[in-house]
Amino acid sequence: MRLRLTPLPASVVRGIYGPKRDTMPERLRFLHPDAAPHYVAIGPWAVVSDMFRTAESSLAAVRAKRGAQPPGYSAHNYGLAVDLDIDASMKRLGVTSKGDLDAMMESHGWFCHRRDHRMAFEAWHYSYLGVGAAISPKVKTIVGYTEQAILDRYGKDLAPDDAEAQRMLYRLGLYHGAIDGDIGPRSREAVGAFQRAWGVRDSGKLDARTRRTLAYVSAERA
């Protein structure tokens, strides 16, 4: 799996870090090539607290019980999400309504996780779904749409077969046996070690979550 990322220059991204709380660390300034141009359009007024998130960062957030998605399941992992500093962004944009902010974000393809425009949990989280994306008025969150956006780009890569899983475990230094698609004792031991390290239920079996997590953790970055 090759994770596609576009680096954004510091001049384009206003974050909440640094001595003046107006910068974003270089390690976070990456978005998927589909999303990057549409972030540049909101860059003059958007103030962000999070952009690209590594597998390690997602795992740390899960273990700290910060409500994050596990590695390989967050749109942040794929460069398809940003978290806004809502108050600062609204001030720079010159609006006083969260609904007005959401409408402006949507006009550039960024959709708030919540659909009620309230200042509550995950009101700061926006996923890139594309300009003109049609969202059902019945949904309360865009979680299903966000998952589909990930699968549209990486779906096949996130379900490696047994031999591919062995190759991934080999690249991670957890497996040194034959790459033959035979998930025997050595392969199961490697799978179990991976599961323990990455917060997946330790079964030694290549279930769907293990395959997806393994694919993401071992992905190359392009």
At residue 148, the pLDDT reads 98
> From CA 195, how far away is CA 210, in angstroms rounded?
7
Q: What is the pTM of this model?
A: 0.94
At residue 67, the pLDDT reads 80
At residue 68, the pLDDT reads 85
* Longest CA span, the chain: 61
At residue 222, the pLDDT reads 85
Q: pLDDT tens per residue, the chain (222 residues)?
A: 999 999 999 999 999 999 999 999 999 999 999 999 999 999 999 999 999 999 999 999 999 988 889 999 999 999 999 999 999 999 999 999 999 999 999 999 999 999 999 999 999 999 999 999 999 999 999 999 999 999 999 999 999 999 999 999 999 999 999 999 999 999 999 999 999 999 999 999 999 999 999 999 999 988
> From CA 217, how far away is CA 181, in angstroms rounded?
20
Nearest residue to 146 via CA among 107, 114, 102, 108: 114
* Phi, psi (rounded to 5 degrees) for 130: 105, 145
The rounded mean pLDDT for the chain is 96
Dump pLDDT digits (tens) for 65-81. 888 899 999 999 999 99
With b meaning 16 or more CB within 10 Å and e meaning fewer, what string describes 154-183?
beebbebeeebbbebbeebebbeeeeeeeb
Q: What is the CA radius of gyration of the chain?
A: 19
Nearest residue to 78 via CA among 186, 150, 166, 179: 150
